[in-house]
Amino acid sequence: MAVEQVHSSILGLDIGSITTSVSLFGVFNGKFQLQNIGTDLTSLGAGQVLSAGVIGAIQDLQKQADRVLLSPNPQRHVEVDQVRQSVDQISLAASFGPDIDAVLLGLTSHGSLFAGESLIRSLPMRLAGSFGLADLQDNFGVLDQLIHLHPKIMILTGGENMGAEASIQQWVEMVRLYCALVSSSLKPRLFYAGNPSLQNLVQRHLEPVGGLQILPNLQPAFGELDIVPAQAAVEQSIIQAWQGMIPGFSDLVNAAGKSVRTKAFLQDRMIRYLSKAKQAQGGDRPQRGVLAVDLGARRSVISAAISSQTGTVVQPTSMEVSDLTQTSTVSLVRQWTAASVSLSDVHQYLATQILMPARIPETFNDLAISQAEARVRLQGLVKELSFHHPWFSQHASSGIPGLFEPIILSGRVLTHAPSPGQAMLMMLDGFQPRGISTIVLDRHHLLPLLGLLGEVAPLLPVHLLASDVFTNLGSVICLDSPAPNGNLLLSLKVQAESIKPYSFEIFKGDLIRLVIPVGDSVILECSPEENTDIGLGGPGIGGQIKVTSGLMGVVIDARGRPIDLPEDDAMRVDKLQGWLRDLGGLDVIDSRGDV
Amino acid sequence: MTINALIVAGMVPIKRERQLPFHGEILVELGENVHPEDIIAEASIPSQLQVLDVAKALGLEPSAADNYLVRDVNEPLEQGDVIAQYDGVVTRLVRMPVNGWLVAFDQGRAYISTDAVTTRLQAGMIGKVEAITPGLGVVISTVGSLLQGAWGNGLVGSGLLQVLPTHPDTTQEDAVDDTSIRGHIIAVGGSCQREQLVEFTLQGVTGLILGSLSPELVPFVKDLPFPVIVLQGFGELPIDSIRFQLLESRSGSIACINACGGDGFSGTPPEVVIPQPGGEYEEQPDFQKLAVGQLVQVNSGQHRGKSGIVKELPEASVNFESGLEVPSATIHLVSDDQLINIPRRNLFVIG
């Protein structure tokens, strides 16, 4: 019988491109708890060693903890080993490295190439090239392109189970030849994730020429994606590639005893886990899923899962400065900026942010631009996730469907906004959700770490998820109605533990915050108008909703979907600031008299 | 706290590692003096492939054809050279159809490359080759002034340094008209408009050092034929007296611009190197930690682009206009003689 190893002290490292966090977990009264967290800027760049940021974060942690993990004057190169002696386990969730170039070889754009692209977009990779059936007509043209691209990862897929054998064999030949042509330093890591009946042939031909891994078919039947097993294998190649690129990373990988994964993979894993747990608890009730987003400095990650459907999309956020001129990003961001700023102001802010991604907004205008950019990024993520996982939403332009509860928010711009109302409004404007949901802030960015620590201590995520390390931002009810602005949509009775019951009405265009003490159980008696869908089963269907009040109490969004912004600059800014005020998002600023 | 740093130093030892992205050939020798534009290493990968069915031409099974290859893989060959020969009743020959390289021989077929994609590595600075990693790269070193910048347009160049006057009454047009700038590296205290950049191009400058640049001009600047480095950042930023006093003091010296920006993961920022061989220098201090007394550049708020001295690192976080309460640094601005508070994450150490 396998005996589970007992860990009493675990150090979780979370190394992002800007911030390095260390979280110390211990066992108290038989339960895992988060003891302390320390942070520092990640030490990336010329002359930097990754462990320096880790040592800085541990020093920060030691200021609050009664544990000493480092000597008084640590030397960053050797001290990680000392830390390893001080705890039972180190685990590392990483997202600091660059996107790794991958090439996809498959058959059709709607079939295997689509499946392969979904895999590549779910991890920190860049799709350097994608080649299908038509490209097989020009073998040498493709070979030339492959040589030019010389990707670090090559994924060969295609053929549903038992299909397209001849074409796959042609690709195998091509890959074999490519590996014979390039020098050993340019040989890619090879993955075969196609028709399983060809696995032996692929193995015979490709194993001798390079590192090959055989994976389950990405698309076992047309329209059916199965990318999860491939994610686990491919992401390890990303970790390996980063070890060769980032000074000091290998030392940390060794200290973690291989308990190292990418945060995108871990977020996807945790969302699948939470969705399954929800499904198990749900019984016969209509199924609802879980959604999480992390707005990082260099890339954003969105993951959603419901029932057996799951999907993650990673989107790089730092572009070349010149890209800003060639895309609509600047004008889109300005459109959502709750301050009177020019296109040039926005352009300057975004360009500077690309150069100095660790910078934080000092002025109100900078804050308004950074939060507008967050909205645009959230909107883009919804579109990307809908494209790669059509089950997610058929109507991405009108927001995400009311199928997800909770929605978990991570990333400094959201979790460290000056007021919870600002975080809530960024989420509402960015996702434009419909129906009812609970919004949770992952202030310490623990969700991916829990997905990793579960490997070494399976009870740790269970105990932590039941604790208060995640913050309930509040519940939202988003009304959907074709009625014109100003029309009555909903009559509401509110009962909560520590306030007197009261009633009121919601009209189209309203954005209302019900201020209810944090932690109170709330019962909302909802009577919608005939055409109003509040997420209880269709237009006109009302009923009782029970929620636990979060930082923002309960927010009712009756602005409609998609949210319309006035064309006129002054009116638009007025409108955006009005919504911020509705949610208390300007209280901090108003008290200073700056707006 | 770990912070970002840009080096601005009058006299320091400068050592730069240049590395090929994949295995290739080193073209310089240990101890050799190099100039910024010099190609110091190159690596090629085959391109424009052609296939020759050698087995068919020899009338053999593919598996048997290997034995009759008379050339080595990667051997450069000319049109007509024999690559395979079978001496049977009748001797059969297979000749190169074009000039090229035999890059692979596989299952009776010869793969020929008629072209190559070559990656070339430039020295990026004046200096001496101090170390060589065979097939991969070199270390170049010198002593001199070093100014690292925020952005570069990806090119490398050198020339005599000329600093344009930054007096408020002198326009850059006047300066350009009045001075011969052909073949020079020009330093401009502030930013430049598109028309001025066109004028510099027409005048034949070999490089441009700017204090700041409008981000709208970035695509245009990326297309200019000479290296451009932006020292402070994007926008109309105030002239940084410390950097430009240093540049003025080196006016007339040979300056090298390596405007190939770091990738944010491991690369060196774009930089200007002004070699002063034989000069006395001090070792560069470690700028990993923000500390009182350091020279810093402010990167946010109304004083963005200015430099100052860290006077205090208060324990308590400060609430800024944005509403964010974060660790701050108290900075004494050099140009304004006033104290301001700035979020620590919005500072670059310079010095």
DSSP string for A436-489: EEEEEE-TT--HHHHHHHHHH-THHHHHHHTTTSSEEEEEEEE-B--PPTT-EE
* Cα A187 to Cα A147: distance, rounded to the nearest angstrom: 10
Structure tokens at A581: 């005020």
Number of H helices and number of E strands within chain B?
Answer: 6, 26
B287 residue type, one letter = F
B279: closest CA of chain A, how far (Å): 24
8 Å CB contact of A361 and B300: yes
A182: closest CA of chain B, how far (Å): 7
8 Å CB contact of B47 and A147: yes
8 Å CB contact of B324 and A360: yes
* Cα A228 to Cα A188: distance, rounded to the nearest angstrom: 21
Question: B94-123, pLDDT tens digit by residue?
Answer: 999 899 888 888 788 888 888 888 889 999
In the prediction, which pLDDT does A396 show? 53
SS3 B303: helix
Would you tell me the crossing angle of helices A228-245 and A263-282 to the nearest 10 degrees? Answer: 150
Q: Does A361 touch chain B (CB under 8 A)?
A: yes
Cα dihedral value A206, A210, A211, A215, nearest 10: -20
8 Å CB contact of A363 and B300: yes
Query: For testing the chain B interface, which of A177, A362, A422, A589 should be mutated: the one with the most B CBs within 10 Å?
Result: A362
SS3 A96: coil
Q: Please name the residue that has the structure tokens 């030490």.
A: A43
Ordered by where they begin, the domains of chain A are 9-95 (3.30.420.40), 100-245 (3.40.50.280), 265-582 (no CATH)
* Cα A94 to Cα B265: distance, rounded to the nearest angstrom: 14
pLDDT at residue A305 greater than cutoff 90: yes
A423: closest CA of chain B, how far (Å): 13
| Partner residues linked to B53 by β-bridges | B109
In the prediction, which pLDDT does B87 show? 87
- pLDDT exceeding 70 applies to what percent of chain A? 93
Enumerate the residues of chain A whose CB falls inside 8 A of the CB of residue B262: 45-46
Structure confidence at residue A1 as a pLDDT band (50, 70, 90): very low
Enumerate the residues of chain A whose CB falls inside 8 A of the CB of residue B3: 41
User: How many CB pairs (< 8 A) connect A and B?
Assistant: 172
The CA-based diameter of chain B, rounded to the nearest angstrom, is 97
Structure confidence at residue A510 as a pLDDT band (50, 70, 90): very high
Interstrand relation of B39-53 and B25-26 (parallel, antiparallel or unpaired): antiparallel
* Cα A580 to Cα A53: distance, rounded to the nearest angstrom: 36
* Cα A538 to Cα A558: distance, rounded to the nearest angstrom: 16
In the prediction, which pLDDT does B169 show? 47
Enumerate the residues of chain A whose CB falls inside 8 A of the CB of residue B150: 355-356
The CA-based diameter of chain A, rounded to the nearest angstrom, is 78
Cβ atoms < 10 Å from Cβ of A22: 28
Q: Is the CB of residue A24 less than 8 Å from the CB of residue A469? A: no
| Partner residues linked to B133 by β-bridges | B137
Question: B140-170, pLDDT tens digit by residue?
Answer: 999 999 999 999 999 999 999 999 876 544 4
In the prediction, which pLDDT does A355 show? 87
8 Å CB contact of A46 and B269: yes
Structure tokens at A434: 């419909």
Nearest by CB: A322 against B218, B267, B345: B218
Q: Minimal Cα distance from B231: which residue of A?
A: A355
Compute the average pLDDT of residues A573-590: 87
What is the CATH number that goes with domain B295-350? Answer: 2.30.30.30
Nearest by CB: A52 against B2, B323, B325: B2
More confident residue, A31 or A76: A31
Structure confidence at residue A456 as a pLDDT band (50, 70, 90): confident
Q: Is the CB of residue A52 less than 8 Å from the CB of residue A43? A: yes
A487: closest CA of chain B, how far (Å): 35
Nearest by CB: A180 against B106, B321, B346: B106
- pLDDT exceeding 90 applies to what percent of chain A? 63
Q: Minimal Cα distance from A359: which residue of B?
A: B346
Q: Give chain A's radius of gyration (CA, Å).
A: 25
Q: Does A319 touch chain B (CB under 8 A)?
A: no
Nearest by CB: A360 against B222, B288, B345: B345
Enumerate the residues of chain A whose CB falls inside 8 A of the CB of residue B267: 45-46
Cβ atoms < 10 Å from Cβ of A13: 27
* Strands lying side by side in the sheet with B100-106: B25-26, B39-53, B109-122, B100-106, B76-77
Would you tell me the crossing angle of helices A50-64 and A79-86 to the nearest 10 degrees? Answer: 40
Burial of A67 by CB count in 10 Å (0-12 exposed, 13-18 middle, 19+ buried)?
middle
In A344-447, at which residue ranges do the beta strands (DSSP E only) sit? Answer: 404-410, 435-441
Does the predicted interface ipTM exceed a cut of 0.90? no
For chain B, residues with pLDDT lower than 50 are 1-2, 168-171, 178
B134: closest CA of chain A, how far (Å): 14
Q: Which of residues 543-582 of A touch B (CB under 8 A)?
A: none
In the prediction, which pLDDT does B48 show? 82
The CATH number of domain B44-117, selected from 2.40.50, 1.10.405, 2.40.128, 2.60.120? 2.40.50
In the prediction, which pLDDT does B189 show? 86
In the prediction, which pLDDT does A590 show? 63
Q: Which of A453-462, A556-565, B177-186 has the lowest mean pLDDT?
A: B177-186
CA B342, B345, B347, B349 dihedral sign is positive
Nearest by CB: A181 against B1, B23, B111: B111
In the prediction, which pLDDT does A77 show? 56
Q: Which of residues 112-151 of A touch B (CB under 8 A)?
A: 140, 143-144, 147-148, 150
Compute the average pLDDT of residues A134-155: 90
More confident residue, A173 or A474: A474
Q: Minimal Cα distance from A19: which residue of B?
A: B2
Question: A418-445, pLDDT tens digit by residue?
Answer: 999 999 999 999 999 999 999 999 999 9
Q: Which of residues 169-188 of B touch A (CB under 8 A)?
A: none
8 Å CB contact of B47 and A40: no
Would you tell me the crossing angle of helices A364-388 and A343-355 to the nearest 10 degrees? Answer: 80
Q: What is the DSSP string of A158-223?
A: E--TT--HHHHHHHHHHHHHHHHHS-GGGPPEEEEEE-GGGHHHHHHHHTTTS-EEE---S-SBTT
8 Å CB contact of A245 and B266: yes
More confident residue, B265 or A195: A195
Burial of A478 by CB count in 10 Å (0-12 exposed, 13-18 middle, 19+ buried)?
buried
* Cα B58 to Cα A75: distance, rounded to the nearest angstrom: 67
B223: closest CA of chain A, how far (Å): 11
* Cα B311 to Cα B291: distance, rounded to the nearest angstrom: 9
Q: Which of residues 41-70 of B touch A (CB under 8 A)?
A: 45-51
Q: Which of residues 237-276 of A touch B (CB under 8 A)?
A: 245-247
Q: Which H or E run includes B172?
A: helix B172-178
CA B99 from chain centre, in angstroms, equals: 35
Cβ atoms < 10 Å from Cβ of A326: 10
SS3 A380: helix
Q: Please name the residue that has the structure tokens 């695509």.
A: B219
* Cα B296 to Cα B307: distance, rounded to the nearest angstrom: 5
- What's the residue count for chain B? 351
B131 residue type, one letter = A
Share the mean pLDDT of chain B: 87
Share the mean pLDDT of chain A: 89
B116: closest CA of chain A, how far (Å): 10
What is the CATH number that goes with domain B6-12+143-275? Answer: 3.50.30.10
Q: Does A66 touch chain B (CB under 8 A)?
A: no
8 Å CB contact of A355 and B233: yes
8 Å CB contact of B49 and A140: yes
Task: Give the start-to-end residue ranges of the domains of chain B.
Answer: 6-12+143-275, 44-117, 295-350
* Cα B42 to Cα B118: distance, rounded to the nearest angstrom: 7
Q: Does B283 touch chain A (CB under 8 A)?
A: no
Query: For testing the chain B interface, which of A75, A179, A355 should be mutated: the one with the most B CBs within 10 Å?
Result: A355
CA A372, A375, A377, A379 dihedral sign is negative
Q: Minimal Cα distance from B111: which residue of A?
A: A181
Percentages (nearest 5) of helix, strand, coil residues in chain A: 40, 25, 35
